[in-house]
Structure 1
């Protein structure tokens, strides 16, 4: 069931979304060669707690950290730890926060120092594909209009869209209906309505779209070992157009 949010609930989600956006901006500033993913997790958690909010991810289905930190060929759900970031790596940081009972959820892929031109292009295309999709996040359109726009843009650059993991509705719970694929034909799925809130999150691979889950039960990697990028924002569907709640 798709849960429609009223104006008061969306206002709460603006506050949660802003905090998530600020947390990610803070991490973008400090990602550099030599820092560990555990250090990034600690900084994010402390920042969220300082603002009287709770990290959404910590303890969610047993996840042990406050951010997902996915490096290079890791697509999503990387577990922070002792890994030291190296010059030329890319890291996808996914972050969620609960404030006043409502969720915000967003992700960014960040270059570590100077990266290859191919890696930089992957980051840029993944980010821009989100905005191509959001152009269709309008009342009266169908959900798959967003999905199709993302896939078309990505495949124009001969990259591939991950199929096994998708975006989602969001509100009091991190994962609500509907699922939001990043691929598919337009004109399908539920009609977009005022008050729907979606986490739209393209996951893009340089190589093929196949992925595998590692033995820890969480970390998703590209099957062919190619680089992967992730970009996500929480988006409210409003009568005057989409509002991105996690951009600052």
Structure 2
């Protein structure tokens, strides 16, 4: 929340100050609350990543800590979304009167928000350039270095993927979970298709068959590495 230092109009006079003061307080309160909660999320996130990085997650007792802290992060995000309702109590006209005292800025320029994105695992190729610039161009010095460091660290997404990949039973020469899953799900698809084909011809039957076909295609993509990589490149996890 940046107040313009170059605006030709300044908050002067008792009436103008009275009209704008509650809006200023509202904006500053919401902004400060977001930054404080971002700080809490970063602490929780770093503690979870540390457990995964040092393989403490192999001790299943630590999973309670991981689940508890991830749950807390989820609750904080819900709270942050709900806080928009406070800003919505401001009418469009209220904001219009106040907007001239703000410089050009964006919530996406929050350093903590960007650190949070990197630590969670937002891929570089999936970022939408803000103002046609690389997101790190809005930061300088130590802030830019901090962002660069988080880009080089293992993200929560990567750490969770590595943890899931070590799940026993995935070996093809062992229990072969994926092989058994594929056989059973395909059998279920065949059974469902036979039931649909026995239905009397109607528009609903065709819609159900088309939906089933989409489900089969999506499931088969799990076992097609090229198709899987294509979906990942689009951000469809």
- TM-score bracket, normalised by the shorter chain, equals under 0.3
Greater share of strand residues, 1 or 2?
1
* TM-score, normalised by the number of residues in structure 1: 0.24
Structure index of larger Rg: 2
Greater share of helix residues, 1 or 2?
2
